[in-house]
Structure 1
């Protein structure tokens, strides 16, 4: 019996991962989210955890105790759009994250959840990961966190200041985990443009969480120590840093 911990499990990618893993008869799922998780399955243990609150994370770690964790799927995060513009400019993501409109509150909240929250959660559950041989952590990052992707040849992207910066910092933190915790594999993954609550409307070209997860599951099964520190897209192709 293996144990898979899924963060951001109340909706979007996290919810889809829980749904996928709960059907595996040899798997127990630990599902965490800041919101209540509506799931009633014998092999799913839901916990309410706020990754921006150290006390909440510490309380969760105490509840876990010495429980070994084989796989972590970390999908908790936010998009980093200026809140009042997200309401006023519905349907226009670009208008909510430009150089001109970005503010400190949005930047700090995005870093607190996407970056610092990841660090605090992963650090807290390291003893549980170290209790397993060949444990692995799969972090839902974003191609937008790639510095190289933000300017390639004649194509420049720009904007998305809070999200890009928080994901780039997240990537850097994970690379440090790779060095400091070599017995655990850490893999960064871009799940694609997925229809989730990160944005309050469906973006053009967005795929469903289920479609993204269906493609990722065989990759996650395959990824291991040889992939630790790597950054992949949802097809298993390497993303430049």
Structure 2
């Protein structure tokens, strides 16, 4: 789909995402490829987000939003203008949840099964950004929704060392749902049974080629094979990284 109008910036995060309208009449929170985090953050967003959705966890729909820099002409903010001009082509859109609220762990108890599954999922993708300081969770229509997975898969920031960290344990001490996650053993069994090669392959297939070919590898297929190899090896050793 194609962006038709930039509505407003969201200044909560350093990447300066924005609310954008598209030609399918939908409204999306868009993260731009020209932001400081670069395409790797978008790759992590898609892979982790689509894995979570495939596992049945509540994640808003993710789409690829094509941006023509001409959209920047109507934006008075120079910082936003520069970001839009640097983000021509494919960008990441997440379905906008109107009226959603930030998650408060005291005000919003989470079911033990869901909390445990989210914690185990975050352990698999090594999500370092689901703490009480920055939950990256929204409350919408009475339920909790997972957002912002750009900080996952951080092995891909150093591919020469990626194989050495396949078995790296996950530190859950600071996880925002830790106090509610009282069924991690059952959730771990569920996760390892559900993390199939087909699920991993499908999540990687959702990443645009131009993001994958932008770094480290000669082709997008080579990049997908490297991600698949790492994630498959990690999925095969849950005892090394699942929280107790």
* TM-score (norm. length: structure 2): 0.28
Ranked by relative contact order (alpha carbons within 8 Å, sequence separation 6 or more), the top structure is 2
* TM-score (norm. length: structure 1): 0.28
